[in-house]
Amino acid sequence: MVAAILRQVVGMEDEAGAGNPMVPLFRAQIVRALAEGRWRFADHFCDKLLAEEPGNLEALLLKGHLAWCHFHDTGAALNYFRKVITLGGFESSNEYVARARSSLARLLEQLS
């Protein structure tokens, strides 16, 4: 709701060709939450960012790391890492795909 209002106020009702003004705000909140060690808030703002940009590989990768390292939810972490790899087109040249592959390999090794 807030995102829709903000888009109308700044004249960005049509998102085609225009960046979403909420994304930088959510990213700033994520960075702040991480700096303060507030993992649940970082996860919450990742969800908000993903609601605006469902294919955001950076947010998905972060959610995978939060699930693995802070929430101890290996199932969710596996799903997020796999999703990053899939959405990134399995391209090893993509920084997020490469990091997701590395994290996935480490997690699977830890589970074995």
Tell me: the pLDDT tens digits for 36-86?
999 999 999 999 999 999 999 999 999 999 999 999 999 999 999 999 999
CA 95 distance to own-chain centroid: 14
Region of poorest pLDDT, from 13-17, 20-24, 25-29, 108-112: 13-17
Count the neighbouring beta carbons within 10 Å of the beta carbon of residue 66: 20
- Tokens 């802070």 found at: 70
pLDDT at position 11 is 44
Q: What's the whole-model pTM score? A: 0.81
Quickly state the pLDDT bin for 95 (edges 50, 70, 90).
Answer: very high
With H, G, I as helix, E, B as strand and everything else as coil, classify residue 10. coil
Take residue 41 and report the two structure tokens written for it: 């808030």
Question: How much is the pLDDT for 70?
Answer: 97
Tokens for 43, please give them.
Answer: 């996860």
User: To the nearest whole number, what is the mean pLDDT of the chain?
Assistant: 87
Whole-angstrom Cα distance, residue 3 to residue 79?
Answer: 28
